[in-house]
A and B are shown apart, each in its own frame.
Chain A
Amino acid sequence: EAQVTQNPRYLITVTGKKLTVTCSQNMNHEYMSWYRQDPGLGLRQIYYSMNVEVTDKGDVPEGYKVSRKEKRNFPLILESPSPNQTSLYFCASSPTGRNGSPLHFGNGTRLTVT
């Protein structure tokens, strides 16, 4: 089954404790992206990757890191999480990331930082 898989689905952590949210897609998509979704603010892009070893900042990259060492995986790293990073996170992928290429979303990761 073609899908984008995120793990974990739920995560509660404390301020400053490094964490990684994994994302994997099995569709051989070139483009992958991370979004966060907050009430009243909608979906905001954190980072995106057009292909292996190519990553770029989105609208809200502060406090996050990503890597794209292989095509299928695009982990999101929070080196020192803070309470304002409490949010619902979505990973997404698309064949090319160019105009006209719709995104396929993972099931989301709900992160709480205390």
Chain B
Amino acid sequence: QKEVEQNSGPLSVPEGAIASLNCTYSDRGSQSFFWYRQYSGKSPELIMFIYSNGDKEDGRFTAQLNKASQYVSLLIRDSQPSDSATYLCAVFNNAGNMLTFGGGTRLMVKP
């Protein structure tokens, strides 16, 4: 079992809809969680990070963390075609010195 799991997709949503991306992790002691966006052939760029249970909002993006269930999600409101990319979930291990990435979910926003 991989340490950080994501559905590879593609997840297809119409423009203006809410896109919901999910990630589960196996290390119960993990304390910090990140979402990166990666366009094809480009480097990952940080979208959001979250440390505490609950929701964290930043513009059109909301990260949700549930440590008891070991999942973290990313909601993108009012999705735009420019949001079409692969979204990577990343989790720091319990020791706090290694960041492990999930395989990524490819999002397609259709006009």
Contact = CB atoms under 8 A, between A and B. Distances in A.
Interface of A: 33, 35, 40-45, 48, 50, 56, 58-59, 90, 97-100, 102-108
Interface residues of B, number: 24
Contacts, number: 57
Nearest to B104: A42
User: What are the 6 A-B residue pairs with the smallest beta carbon separation, nearest first?
Assistant: A42-B103, A99-B96, A105-B43, A43-B101, A99-B32, A100-B32
A58 B34 CA distance: 19
A90 B43 contact: yes
Contact of A102 (B41, B49, B88, B96): B49
Interface in B10-37: 31-32, 34
Contacts of B100: 45, 59
A29 B5 CA distance: 29
A4 B90 CA distance: 19
A107 B103 contact: no
Nearest to B2: A42
Given A41-B103, A42-B103, A42-B104, A103 B97 contact: no
Contact of A42 (B45, B92, B96, B102): B102
Contact of A98 (B88, B90, B96, B101): B96
